[in-house]
């Protein structure tokens, strides 16, 4: 058990005792995030604090800087890269109590909220006002908007609407050595200074702690319609992705499920999956009713020749529940999975997916792929028993080869999850040494003593 009486004494000077956990039991949930179950990653925090506001975050940060203790910001703990895992000990700063809605202005299409508000609540509040907050990463009930900002979370609708960064006009953060700052605000345009707002977005808690955000919303499109195309195999599936892009319809989401993943979720599909199907493409279009119907008809024309079956879905809730179930279903096959989030330009999808499958097969692994086809952002997944050390090692080798392939195809090792702890070393694949050095200098400009989430994001 980490955390001494002296640290507890210091922290309880800054926060009420019931909001300080020190020492931290080894099996505490604060010692892991969602990288725990699959990757076996656990840390050992010296303390956990649950601040009520930015001032308390600043006070805790000042103490960490003074004592040279790591400070690890924590949102909902749904990250799969270990970004919130206290791998080097230190103080975990959980945002769970900071979930106030500071402003909601439906007529002005905006919301300001503390970092701990859940993503699902942000989306619900927008929806109740006739508005849309488009980012829809997985685990919306668990994840927090501050964590979404810290990781620049995506999701299926990022294809049309962009990732979280496109919807954040302002960020309030606490920066070392304990300064509360605000970059941007409610305005939709601001080019006065360097875009430090944008730099903080996706920085995974390594530059500062996000304490509140200004969000841009938009009026909710009145209609959304779905179309599922089943194709015989990966080749025809990847061609279909390019066919959809080329037909000029702007889908609100364009998702793929490869044959191996489809086999695991076929029985749950709201409809009947044709027997010969080796690939499913899920498209959503949204907007005014008339144009949405005509856009779907255009998609049907584009897909008609190659598809085994085209299913219209007017009820999207069941369809999306099915899509969201893929991740759990493929994990259930062997009890676990190693699932990445690489990106390539969409015309390289076939090379990526066939290369990944071949590499996994060589390693004797069962694999599948699903994800955000339009963005070329794929959850390439090895299905395995996490207790099987040999398979885990083989999966890591497969993953490394996947990262190399994605980089070689002009892509990225991460489109959604961030690098956190588990992928930080892979950054060298896509960044030459000069850029890595620059990344480190930027980090040092914010955090010269290196207390902010050390060991994460940068190799």
Question: Which residues from 333-362 bind a second copy, rule CB under 8 A?
Answer: 343-347
Q: Which range binds a second copy by CB under 8 A, 120-128, 261-269, 389-397, 410-418?
A: 410-418
State the minimum distance, in angstroms, from the CB of residue 387 to a second copy.
Answer: 30
Please classify residue 457 by burial: count the beta carbons closer than 10 Å to its beta carbon, then call 0-12 exposed, 13-18 middle and 19+ buried: buried
**Residues of span 45-74 touching a second copy by CB under 8 A:** none
Q: Residue 13: which residues within 8 A CB-CB, separation 6 or more? A: none
State the minimum distance, in angstroms, from the CB of residue 353 to a second copy.
Answer: 15
Closer Cβ to a second copy, 275 or 432, answer by number: 432
**Residues of span 91-110 touching a second copy by CB under 8 A:** 105-109
Hey, what's the torsion of the CAs at 450, 455, 456, 459, to 10 degrees? Answer: 110
Q: Which range binds a second copy by CB under 8 A, 50-58, 63-71, 229-237, 428-436?
A: 428-436
For 410: left if phi > 0, alpha if psi spans -120 to 50, otherwise beta; the answer is: left
State the minimum distance, in angstroms, from the CB of residue 362 to a second copy.
Answer: 26
Q: Is 450 in the site for a second copy (CB under 8 A)?
A: no
3-state secondary structure of 211: strand
State the minimum distance, in angstroms, from the CB of residue 209 to a second copy.
Answer: 15
What is the sign, positive or negative, of the torsion defined by CA atoms of 301, 305, 306, 309?
A: positive
State the minimum distance, in angstroms, from the CB of residue 173 to a second copy.
Answer: 11
Can you tell me which of 239, 388, 442, 450 binds a second copy, judged by CB under 8 A? 442
Asked if 186 and 110 count as a contact pair (C-beta separation under 8 A), the reply is yes
Q: Is 372 in the site for a second copy (CB under 8 A)?
A: yes
Asked if 21 and 68 count as a contact pair (C-beta separation under 8 A), the reply is no
Please give the Cα distance from 132 to 110 (Å, whole number): 10
Q: Is 410 in the site for a second copy (CB under 8 A)?
A: yes
Can you tell me which of 219, 328, 335, 364 binds a second copy, judged by CB under 8 A? 219
Q: Is 400 in the site for a second copy (CB under 8 A)?
A: no
- Nearest to 217, CA basis, from 266, 166, 255: 166
Asked if 413 and 377 count as a contact pair (C-beta separation under 8 A), the reply is no
- What is the per-residue binding string for a second copy in 273-302, x denoting contact by CB under 8 A? --------------xxxxx--xx-------
């Amino acid at each position: 058990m980490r955390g001494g009486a002296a640290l507890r004494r210091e922290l309880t000077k800054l926060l009420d005792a019931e909001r300080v956990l020190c020492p931290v039991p080894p099996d505490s949930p604060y010692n892991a995030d969602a990288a725990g179950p699959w990757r076996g990653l656990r840390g050992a925090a010296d303390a956990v604090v649950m601040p009520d506001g930015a001032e308390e975050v600043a006070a805790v940060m000042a103490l960490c800087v003074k004592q040279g203790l790591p400070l690890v910001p924590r949102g909902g703990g749904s990250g799969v890269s270990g970004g919130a895992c206290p791998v080097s000990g230190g103080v975990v700063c959980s945002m769970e109590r900071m979930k106030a809605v500071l402003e909601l202005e439906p007529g002005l299409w905006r919301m300001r909220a503390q970092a701990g508000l859940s993503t699902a609540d942000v989306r619900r509040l927008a929806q109740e006002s006739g508005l849309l907050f488009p980012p829809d990463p997985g685990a919306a009930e668990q994840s927090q908007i501050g964590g979404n900002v810290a990781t620049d979370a995506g999701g299926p609708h990022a294809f049309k609407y962009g990732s979280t960064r496109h919807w954040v006009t302002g960020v309030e953060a606490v920066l070392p050595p304990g300064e509360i700052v605000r970059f941007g605000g409610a305005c939709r345009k601001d080019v006065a200074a360097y875009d430090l707002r944008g730099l903080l977005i996706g920085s995974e808690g390594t530059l500062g702690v996000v304490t509140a955000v200004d969000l841009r919303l938009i009026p909710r499109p009145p209609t959304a319609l779905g179309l599922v195309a089943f194709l015989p195999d990966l080749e025809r599936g990847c061609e279909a992705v390019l066919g959809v892009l080329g037909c000029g319809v702007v889908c609100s989401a364009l998702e793929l499920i490869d044959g191996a993943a489809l086999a695991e979720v076929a029985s749950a599909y709201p409809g009947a999956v044709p027997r010969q199907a080796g690939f499913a493409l899920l498209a959503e279009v949204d907007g005014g009713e008339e144009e949405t119907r005509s856009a779907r008809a255009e998609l049907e024309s584009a897909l008609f020749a190659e598809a085994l079956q085209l299913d219209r879905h007017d009820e999207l809730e069941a369809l999306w529940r099915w899509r969201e179930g893929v991740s759990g279903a493929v994990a259930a096959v062997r009890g676990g999975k190693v699932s990445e989030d690489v990106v390539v330009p969409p015309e390289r999808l076939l090379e990526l997916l066939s290369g990944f499958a071949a590499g996994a097969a060589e390693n004797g692994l069962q694999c599948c792929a699903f994800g955000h086809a339009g963005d070329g952002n794929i959850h390439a997944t090895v299905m395995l028993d996490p207790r099987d050390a040999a398979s885990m090692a083989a999966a890591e080798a497969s993953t490394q080869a996947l990262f190399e392939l994605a980089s070689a195809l002009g892509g990225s090792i991460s489109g959604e999850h961030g690098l956190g702890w588990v992928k930080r070393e892979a950054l060298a694949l896509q960044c030459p040494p000069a850029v890595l050095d620059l990344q480190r200098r930027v980090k040092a400009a914010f955090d010269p003593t290196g207390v902010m989430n050390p060991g994460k994001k940068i190799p």
